[in-house]
Amino acid sequence: MTAKEYTAPEKKHTITAKELMIKLNGTPIVRGEIAMETQLGIPFAEKKRDRLCISFKPHREEAKDGKMQFYPNQYEVEFVYPSNHVVRFSNLTYKKSVDISAPVCETDMQVMLGAGKYALNALYDELTELLVFWEKDKSVSDAAIKKYQKSYYNTVKKLGLEKLYGEE
């Protein structure tokens, strides 16, 4: 009997970045290891071992006096797409002295709701593009990753969150 070539059925729908975030928020590591009072934050994309990896700096956010305050990240977590397996996880409060009692940066609430939301939506659209590239070719080009990372840091800068997310 001749062995049959395995081919998976064609996917009707490529996951969007927003849908991916919902999935990642439901993974065992987020549910079981990361305190609910934190937000995953803005997704960062990298290529490692030719795989698409998405990482986060989970941290606390608090609205106060018309500002959105951002606290230091307490964790680092990285997933590999599309399996969403964990590549890396660290609770930084055990690793080094992290004072999570005071915010490190803040953004005006109106900016978050206006320009911030617009910038983040645009960034998420770019992340969706990376996911589409992956689904189509099972790879993502270095150029596409670089483009996304540039947009990531531009968004961070627009929101004044360099102290949390770093600079390019």
Partner 1 sequence: MEFLNESFMDAYEMSKGINEDQQIENIRQIMKEHAQQMQETIEMPEVPETAEVFEPTEFIETEEGGETVEVTEFTEIIGNPEEDMEAWSPQTEDYSCAVACQKYIAEQLTNVEFTEKSMIEYAYSEGWYDPESGGTPFDDTGNLLEEVGLDVDRDYGGTLQEIAQSLENGDKVICAVNNTTLQCPEYADIPGVTANHAVEVIGIGMTKEGDLKVILNDPGIENGCGFTCDAETFMKAWGTGGNFITTVSSGEQIV
Question: Residue 62: which region, alpha, beta or left (left: phi > 0; alpha: psi -120 to 50)?
Answer: beta
Based on CB atoms, which residue is closest to partner 1, 103 or 134? Answer: 103
Contact 40, 22 (CB under 8 A): no
Q: Which stretch binds partner 1 (CB under 8 A): 3-11, 19-27, 129-137, 146-154?
A: 19-27
Q: Is 130 in the site for partner 1 (CB under 8 A)?
A: no
Candidate list 42, 130, 140, 161; residue touching partner 1; CB under 8 A: 42
Return d(Cα 51, Cα 45) in angstroms, integer: 10
Angle CA(111)–CA(113)–CA(119) in degrees, nearest 5? 75
Q: Which stretch binds partner 1 (CB under 8 A): 24-32, 47-55, 137-145, 146-154?
A: 24-32
Q: Is 120 in the site for partner 1 (CB under 8 A)?
A: yes
Contact 56, 40 (CB under 8 A): yes
Based on CB atoms, which residue is closest to partner 1, 9 or 28? Answer: 28
Return d(Cα 154, Cα 157) in angstroms, integer: 5
Please list the residues that pair with 75 across neighbouring strands. 91
Binding residues (CB under 8 A) for partner 1: these are: 17-18, 21-23, 25-28, 30-43, 60-63, 68, 74-75, 91, 93, 100-101, 109, 112-113, 116-117, 120-121, 123-124
